């Protein structure tokens, strides 16, 4: 099994990174190939909406030569993609949104090229937020569920923890065991 974790938090040692620690620890202890990307350390430009990728057959095809090509390759090879993000104004951060927009070339639905490199892949969310989970994260969850419908991917759920006391909220026994259990649940879930 191959897993791609995309951390969209701009804070290298922030809440989302803290919640990812126990989650990733469980993945690392199992028999998976893990690609773990901290997006703020990478260079992913925004989608320019040119549709060039939709005329490139058999490969990702975006003309912008940046780190999205590394991420796209990892996504194409992965069974499961984990979207880790703080909620920023009811959605993910711009770092992760840029990657989600740049998914476009991974499926050829609109012009001469055909095919879908992400069909059947699984997607899960790991989120942190200030408001309670439903109020904070529902818009993002709905967006990702619809993205999964659109790309014929499978949404496998979310684990999230509320930021009530900054880093300490993500260091509680409950937050840590919840992150570990979610990782184990994703590992156990059938493809």
**Any contact of residue 128 with ligand FMN (CB under 6 A)?**
yes
Contacts of ligand FMN in 153-172 (CB under 6 A): 163
Which residue of 63, 109, 110, 131 would you call a contact of ligand FMN, by CB under 6 A? 131
**Any contact of residue 129 with ligand FMN (CB under 6 A)?**
yes
**Any contact of residue 109 with ligand FMN (CB under 6 A)?**
no
Size of the site for ligand FMN (CB under 6 A): 16
**Any contact of residue 16 with ligand FMN (CB under 6 A)?**
yes
Any idea of the CA torsion for 17, 39, 59, 146, to the nearest 10 degrees?
A: 60
> Nearer Cβ to ligand FMN, position 121 or 129?
129
**Any contact of residue 185 with ligand FMN (CB under 6 A)?**
no
**Any contact of residue 15 with ligand FMN (CB under 6 A)?**
yes
Indicate the DSSP class of residue 56.
-
To the nearest whole angstrom, how small is the minimum distance from the Cβ of residue 83 to ligand FMN?
Answer: 13
Contacts of ligand FMN in 89-108 (CB under 6 A): 89-90
Contacts of ligand FMN in 133-152 (CB under 6 A): 136
> Nearer Cβ to ligand FMN, position 42 or 56?
42
């Amino acid at each position: 099994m191959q897993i791609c974790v995309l951390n969209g938090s701009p804070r290298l040692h922030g809440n989302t990174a803290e919640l990812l620690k126990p989650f990733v620890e469980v993945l690392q202890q199992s028999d998976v190939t893990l690609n773990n990307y901290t997006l703020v350390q990478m260079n992913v430009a925004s989608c320019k909406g040119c549709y060039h990728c939709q005329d490139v057959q058999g490969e990702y095809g975006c003309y912008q030569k940046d780190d999205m090509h590394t991420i796209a390759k990892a996504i194409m090879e992965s069974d499961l993609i984990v979207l880790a993000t703080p909620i920023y104004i009811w959605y993910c951060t711009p770092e992760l949104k840029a990657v989600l927009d740049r998914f476009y070339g991974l499926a050829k639905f609109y012009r001469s090229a055909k095919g879908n490199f992400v069909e059947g892949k699984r997607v899960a969310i790991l989120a942190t937020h200030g408001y309670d989970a439903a109020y904070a994260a529902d818009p993002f969850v709905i967006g990702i569920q619809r993205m999964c419908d659109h790309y014929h991917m499978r949404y496998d759920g979310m684990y999230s923890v509320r930021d009530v006391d900054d880093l300490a909220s993500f260091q509680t026994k409950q937050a840590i065991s919840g992150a570990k259990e979610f990782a184990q649940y994703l590992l156990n879930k059938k493809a």
